[in-house]
């Protein structure tokens, strides 16, 4: 088994000694074996650091990474571990909201996206707020913000990304209500439990984990089938009266107009 000094371990992991010490202080990395005053690190320390870096690259925060790795070591499965790290960077299982100073926002967006701050505010991805310490930007839904930035990289305007976001939210909210209704109808029969708020809340984390995997996979499969039919779908949209968009988009637009009238 290989052994490493602090500097050797940091070099092997592509980190600084200071970062390794910080991971030890936050219990992300267990303490080394000591011989006298010298610290000796082993291969399992290097493996752990590589796992931490992998999860950080997937967008997890350090406290979430510690939970995932500790659960794996103990044979347990918190939501992030249940879903796998590809899912754990999104939605309820990661960090759904955050606040950024100007420096933090610049780091999050990257230099290529700094010019999008105004549009991100306009379409509700960021909310500017003044504090005693200066301006901060609140992101209510960080995973959706990340998705919007990825859509921008694909050549999508933020207005279209926001309209897509609202369409998905409306459809999924309706689907969630329908699923609970379906389980309620089958309560005591095909579903052994009782469908009440109290009972479902007890299993909320598992329900979220199951639905996240199901919806993500089903949506990916559906998009895989739809994309090869793009020309056919576009022809159908253009042949509709007035070149109307797909059903449901009009309703969302009408809802936006109604909200605008109410605000006025």
**Residue numbers of the chain with a pLDDT score lower than 70:** 1, 58-60, 72, 74-95, 241-264
Which residue, 85, 81, 82, is CA-closest to 60? 85
CATH number belonging to the domain at 3-92, selected among 1.10.1660.10, 3.40.50.300, 1.10.3720.10, 2.60.40.10:
1.10.1660.10
CA angle 47, 48, 50 (to 5 degrees): 65
State the pLDDT at residue 94: 47
Is 9 in contact with 18 (CB distance < 8 Å)?
no
Encode pLDDT of 175-217 as tens digits.
Answer: 999 999 999 999 989 988 889 998 888 888 778 878 887 888 8
Is 98 in contact with 68 (CB distance < 8 Å)?
no
Which residue, 127, 145, 144, 146, is CA-closest to 136? 127
> Domain ranges in the chain?
3-92, 204-264
CA 152 to chain centre: 17
Instruction: Report the distance separating Cα 127 and Cα 121, nearest Å.
Output: 6
State the pLDDT at residue 82: 45
The pTM of this model reads: 0.58
């Amino acid at each position: 088994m290989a052994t490493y000094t602090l500097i050797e371990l940091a070099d092997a992991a592509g980190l600084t000694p200071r970062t390794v010490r910080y991971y030890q202080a936050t219990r992300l990395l267990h303490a080394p074996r000591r011989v006298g005053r010298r610290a000796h690190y082993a291969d399992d320390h290097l493996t752990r650091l590589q796992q931490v870096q992998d999860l950080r690259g997937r967008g997890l925060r350090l406290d979430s990474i510690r939970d995932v790795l500790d659960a794996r070591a103990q044979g347990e499965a918190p939501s992030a571990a249940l879903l796998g790290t590809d899912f754990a960077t999104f939605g309820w299982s990661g960090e759904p909201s955050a606040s950024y100073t100007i420096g933090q926002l610049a780091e999050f967006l990257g230099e290529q996206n700094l010019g999008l701050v105004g549009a991100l505010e306009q379409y509700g991805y960021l909310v500017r707020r003044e504090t005693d310490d200066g301006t901060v930007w609140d992101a209510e839904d960080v995973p959706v913000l990340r998705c919007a930035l990825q859509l921008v990289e694909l050549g999508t305007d933020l207005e279209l990304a926001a309209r897509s976001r609202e369409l998905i939210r409306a459809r999924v909210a309706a689907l969630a209500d329908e699923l609970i209704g379906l389980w309620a109808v089958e309560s005591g029969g095909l579903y052994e439990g009782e469908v009440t708020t109290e009972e479902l809340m007890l299993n909320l984390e598992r329900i979220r984990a199951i639905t996240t995997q199901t919806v993500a996979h089903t949506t990916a499969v559906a998009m895989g089938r739809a994309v090869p039919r793009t020309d056919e779908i576009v022809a159908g949209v253009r042949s509709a009266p007035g070149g109307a968009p797909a059903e449901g988009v009009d309703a969302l637009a009408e809802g936006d107009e109604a909200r605008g009238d109410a605000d006025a």
